[in-house]
Structure 1
Amino acid sequence: MFGTAFSFDRDTGESTGPVDAQYSPLDPETMLRPANSLVKPPPPVGALQVAVFLLNYQGERNDAITEESDWTVYPDWRGVALYKTATGTKFFLEKQDINVLPADVDATPLAPGIDDTWDGSSWVLDTAKQRARLVATATAKRDDLLAAAAAAIAPLQDAVDLGNPTAEEQALLTAWKQHRVALNRIQLQAGYPSDITWPVAPGASA
């Protein structure tokens, strides 16, 4: 005859569900439990909870399990994305991290914005951090555009240096140099660095 026992993970002690258990042929009242299981069912759990037996124990301890052995409900934040309050880095708790709260690992389940800083209870916009990021982004784009301008200017300047530029080459050289000057002055714009009107390269559509 078979009944039902309730198994638990041997590493974490967490409930892993029901399993078939045979009753003793010598004593029909005695259930022969499979390893790592209890006769008593785990209690109902809510969100972010798990039923656990022998939290964090390692290996077999069947001799210590009796009909009176019981479950305990612990917090369970595993599987929930957490964010380090110091850096905003996203991570997840490990398998063994039952009964570990976000505050225990200096984290929060609240996702930060790209320029946010933790103020102790929530993420708030860090305007200095935001400006530094925007400046770095604008500088990288400007440098790419300056490199393209330098590549365009070089052969035109060669023609001028050799004393035989065409009128079109001369005009184009002037336009590219004006473009390069404008690129180097983007930080003078009123909206810099969050709202930049980028100079249009000669021959390109606006």
Structure 2
Amino acid sequence: MSHYSTNIETAELGENGLSKKAGWITVYHVNQDTGEYQSASMEYLMPGVGLPAHSYPDKPELPPVGQALHRSADGKSWEFSPDYRGQTVYRTETRQEQTVTQFGELPDNVTPRKPESEFDAWDGKKWVLDKEAQAAAARKVAKQELASRKAGAASRMNELTYAVNLDIATEEEKAALTEWQKYAVLLSRVDVNATDIEWPEQPQ
């Protein structure tokens, strides 16, 4: 019998997780925080020595696309979980966009469905248009526009009124004052609650 050997000695683990026999063993490493599989390596174990921390001797099956491979919570087996990392999701309360950074099921307060407008609200299954919010926003914009137009008209009428009161207004300025006064009256009739506002034409 030859005293040479070309075989690689394989370590044997006991029930206590320690090596009963010196040799090499393939181990599979996981992330210490998430339990996600990271890599495999060959380790040489002396008798009575255990595996490196966060490592396991059982070979995992590779997950299908879209799944993450990780150790179970009790550390006894390998598991698959959905992996949406890198994908964009939207918070159902605020429509705020964010990128998924962890594997696992999506939280209940996010969805991969993109809202179509800033007035969409989540009904539990899909985005629906919040018509009241949309109308309120339109009223706010209309009020701001009306206030701006009225301020501009008042400023111009004051200038022209000074000229008329001082009896130094030209005929063009007198006519312009009349036009701006008409414009101010038309502005006062604008209904900011209307769905389609027709703004009066501002005098030149």
Under TM normalisation by the shorter chain, which class is it? 0.5 to 0.7
1:121 to 122, 125, 134: 125
% identical aligned pairs: 33
Q: What's the CA shift for 1:89? A: 3.1
Partner of residue 177, structure 1:
181
The 5-angstrom pairing of residues 153-192 of structure 1 reads: 153-187=157-191, 192=194
Q: Determine if contact 1:15/1:53 at 8 Å carries over to the other structure.
A: yes
One-letter amino acid of the counterpart of residue 111, structure 2 = T
Partner of residue 14, structure 1:
36
Is the aligned partner of 1:73 residue 2:91?
A: no
2:107 to 102, 105, 108: 102
Partner of residue 46, structure 1:
65
Distance 1:185 1:4 in 2: 83
Q: What's the CA shift for 1:44? A: 1.6
Distance 1:175 1:3 in 2: 94
Residue 146 of structure 2 aligns to a residue whose secondary structure is helix
Which has the larger Rg?
A: 2
Q: Determine if contact 2:89/2:113 at 8 Å carries over to the other structure.
A: yes
One-letter amino acid of the counterpart of residue 124, structure 1 = V
Distance 1:71 1:133 in 2: 52
How many residue pairs match? The answer is 178
Tell me the TM-score normalised to structure 2 length: 0.67
Q: Determine if contact 1:82/1:102 at 8 Å carries over to the other structure.
A: no
Q: Determine if contact 2:31/2:54 at 8 Å carries over to the other structure.
A: yes
**Relative to 1, partners in 2 of residues 1:22 and 1:87: Cα closer, same or farther, differing over 3 Å?**
closer
Residue 51 of structure 1 aligns to a residue whose secondary structure is strand
Please state which structure has a larger fraction of its residues in strand.
2
Q: What's the CA shift for 1:169? A: 0.9
Q: What's the CA shift for 1:150? A: 2.5
Residue 187 of structure 1 aligns to a residue whose secondary structure is coil
Partner of residue 114, structure 2:
111
Distance 1:177 1:152 in 2: 10
Residue 73 of structure 1 aligns to a residue whose secondary structure is strand
Which residues of structure 1 form unaligned runs of 5+? 58-64
Distance 1:35 1:44 in 2: 23
Instruction: Let me know the Cα RMSD of the aligned residues.
Output: 3.4
Is the aligned partner of 1:87 residue 2:105?
A: no
One-letter amino acid of the counterpart of residue 149, structure 1 = A
One-letter amino acid of the counterpart of residue 96, structure 2 = T
Q: Determine if contact 1:84/1:108 at 8 Å carries over to the other structure.
A: yes
- Structure number with greater CO (CA < 8 Å, separation at least 6) is 1
One-letter amino acid of the counterpart of residue 71, structure 2 = F
